[in-house]
Structure 1
Amino acid sequence: MTIKNKYPLPRIDDLFDQLKGAKYFSKIDLRSFTITQDREEDIHKTAFVTGYGRYEFTVMPFGLTNAPAYFMNLMNKIFMDELDKHVIVFIDDILVYSKTIEEHEEHLRKVLEKLRSHQLYAKFSKCEFWLERISYPGHIITTKG
């Protein structure tokens, strides 16, 4: 039996209040759950059988009921110092926002260093940097709101 993780996922509209005054935006899209290692004692729970044998995931697969909540909790812990200041995180999408070019350079550096130190990797083809207008899960964000 799976016990549901009750970690709250934020309402994305509520996250945008903090963007007032921001002029520069960058979006980092992570390779998400499949980069998160499963705990050794939980690997057997992901087993499946095919005509070619029995297999187990060693990383968190898509579709696990607690995957989004687990990943959101992980991201909030990693970016605790940056949240509500210059970073918004929605599961595997990171939005870095700043009022000046100089701030944005520093904010991006901090975020990228944290990603590297936690061995989290971006899908570069889905990332966007140094923009004044950007899309972020279902919304268009500009310097005007």
Structure 2
Amino acid sequence: MDVIRKIGHNEIVEITTPVLITCHYGKYRLCGDFRAPNNYTISDRYPIPRIPHAQDKLSKANYIAKIHCMKGFHQNLVERNSMKVLRIICDMGIYEYTRVPFDIKNAPAHFQRMMDTIFNEEILEFWMVVHIDDIIIYSDTWEDYLKYIDRVLSK
């Protein structure tokens, strides 16, 4: 799964500069400074679940599991027409993102919509909460807990 690809070296294109970010777990992540494209992007108003709402449900559960979707945004392809505004330049050339980068304005809303669509039935059964790239499974009984985890991992 290639997240970025080299497109050239001396092409005249719209580009942004790369930014190196320190992650909370001590590693580094290369990102683009996409503030300019984000300023011109129409906001996706898809609702992101609020954590306090989930806490109320979880406080009554006997068993809780959290599954984190590693690099979840990178699971989504960038539309061909959008790649031109997702370019970064460095001394090795010009690169464009082929997968959704983390620092794009509508990436969280898009990912939340995708997760809600995939897990719609489970969410409506009130034993799962999805918050962007985190899946929280909760249950009163051990048997249901194992059944729910298996159901999620089978998707």
TM-score (norm 1): 0.72
Matched, 1:108 2:149: yes
The equivalent position to 1:71 in structure 2, one of 102, 108, 111, is 111
Q: Are 2:48 and 1:9 equivalent residues in the alignment?
A: yes
Counterparts of 2:57 and 2:64, CA distance in 1: 13
The residue type equivalent to 2:121 in the other structure is D
Q: Identity of aligned pairs, percent? A: 36
The CA deviation at 1:21 is: 4.0
The 5-angstrom pairing of residues 81-120 of structure 1 reads 81-84=121-124, 85-114=126-155
Q: Which residue of 1 aligns with 2:62?
A: 23
Give the TM-score, by structure 2 length. Answer: 0.68
Local SS of the residue matching 1:72 = helix
Counterpart of 2:134 in structure 1: which amino acid?
Answer: D
Partner Cα distance (2:60, 2:54) in 1:
14
Structure 2 unaligned regions, length at least 5:
1-39
SS at structure 2 position matched to 1:34: helix
Count of equivalent residues:
114
Using CA pairs below 8 Å that are at least 6 residues apart, which structure has the higher relative contact order?
A: 1
- Give, in whole Å, the separation in 1 of the partners of 2:81 and 2:144: 43
Over alpha carbons, which structure has the higher Rg? Answer: 2
